[in-house]
Structure 1
Amino acid sequence: MRKLPKRLKKGDLVGVIAPSSPPDQESLQRALPFLEELGLTIKLGKSVSATHGYLAGTDEERLADLHAMFEDPEVSGIFCAGGGYGAARLADKIDYAMIKENPKVFWGYSDISFLHTAIGEYADLVTFHGPMLASDVGKPEFHERSGRMFGQLFKPFELHYTEEVAPLETIIGGIVQGAMVGGNLSLIRSAIGTKFDLDVKGKILLIEDIDKEPYEVDGILNQMRMSRKFDEAAGIVIGDFKNAEPKKRKASLTMDQVFNDYFGALKIPVVKGFKIGHCEPHFSVPLGTLARLDGDAKTLTILPGVE
């Protein structure tokens, strides 16, 4: 298993960075008090308020913020302000040896999925797939349960996902254990054929996405099928696919049909409906720790992500 970052404590300083697109500044300001209520103090990265086209500052500026927060011994954790696009542009420039020497909490999702994979693979560090400050925490619809999920950063405890959170549906039953990896489906696909290609062998694969029509999800899953991802994975956790309705075409397969086409004949546990992704509540999970997926009981258990 990957190295666990140290747990956060009240009074800790945490960094806020924007590795992707410019975060909405008003929403970000509404979110910062949430971190303060957790007992944390905040250091904002320089590029959080920068704009370079569709990026939150140049690659050099965003990379400098990422490096500075990991290098700063006073910073105990790093939270991403938002997603969008751009994190992957940094991946081959990151100093992973430095991150490995300075392990700490790293939290985000969506476009940040590329960094989760890269940091997990090359810095051997457990990271966290969870709601971001401007994109989620600062929005009126931010759910109380989503907020409670930040508690896993302060005290190590097993996460237990059952149908008490939301209804689940088993596509393929069975029980499997393995490290959970993955995140946003589009970002997983974008890494195929690169040095950051997601290693799913013997692992539980998490997928989620937003604003993708069924035919678009179909295309990504087909590429992953032909890349043998589903042959190598030990199990599949299907998170939230928000706004996955047909728009361009009146005639369309449903998302259920697409999932059944790709997963229905597999011989590994596959369960869908998890509130993980662009949804409220958002069930936050560590990536790189041991998980147990029970397709028969429809439960997901994940070991703690901090020490």
Structure 2
Amino acid sequence: MTYPIDLRSDTVTQPSPAMRQFMAQAEVGDAVIDIDPTTERLEKLTAEMLGKEAAIFMPSGSMTNQIAIRLHCRPGDEFLCEENCHVYNYEQAAFAQLSGVVARTLPGEHGVLQPEQFEGKVRPENDHLVRTRLVCLENTHNRGSGKVQPFDVVQKITNWAHDHGLKTHLDGARLFNAAAATGIPVADWSAMFDTVSVCFSKGLGAPVGSALAGPAEFIRQAKRARKLFGGGMRQSGIIAAGALFALQNNVTRLSEDHEKAAKLAEAVRQTEGIHLDVDPVETNIVIFSIDKELGTAAQLQAALSERGVEVLSVAPQKIRMVTHLDVSMLQVDAAIEVIKQTLPALA
């Protein structure tokens, strides 16, 4: 068995030999001065898959999200989002630091909001009040254990937003996982939003990069904002090639990761002292709680690491495990055995 077995995140994937070869052979240019042909191919394919007019390649999902918020809003505006979403919790409130925008959070159930929660949330026009301009959703939801936003619920929320003159943005870092879990094409999910961000360096297995997709004029403005944020890249085709390879080769296999996560989840159900936070597990993220009598999440993380299984402590009593293309089903089986052997030793 190959150790370590790294279940900390789907961002730990390494580019495969075939991906590395594809990257090494990428045709490049200067993407800031003119055009990088490989980056252009990636952007066109991304836009096509998402059903949008255009797309732009950026170094990270944080940048794509923040540029979308910046362009949809003006300084002094607010956007509505779920209280545990990535944009609000893991991007240093960049919307405030960089763009003068504030967030109004709504409590979701494992990241899922309901349409009725948005009623009355648009501020009236008044010199004393912030202006409500945007709704942001996350699909799948990271803190929600990879929860898929129900399609009909998303449709009702985005319809409400557009009926009230608001723009909509989807943090779709793991949108391809949502599509794999539901069988609903990414373009159908994307169609409900004005702009969509997708990540190539998670389950798709590319080493770096995200894209923002939307109307052509919006993406033209996003290119200007990308330069402002320091995201203009020269021979970006080298890394864009990894993302392009991922779109062409690694999308359909995402369901394999979901099968691995389901096996981990079943093992958690059958193990005393630990309990799933979200059941059933829908995609590739498994979050479970550990009974205080056994110890803390940090203690369990350390003990598992000593035995060659890497997990992530995300709260005092919570552990996260994420499956991906670099973890085989055999390694999942081995990780399960290590967890079962390690837990009694903590008590």
Bigger Rg, structure 1 or 2: 2
> TM-score, normalized by length of structure 2?
0.29
> Relative contact order (C-alpha < 8 Å, sep 6+): which is higher?
2
Structure with bigger strand share is 1
> TM-score, normalized by length of structure 1?
0.31
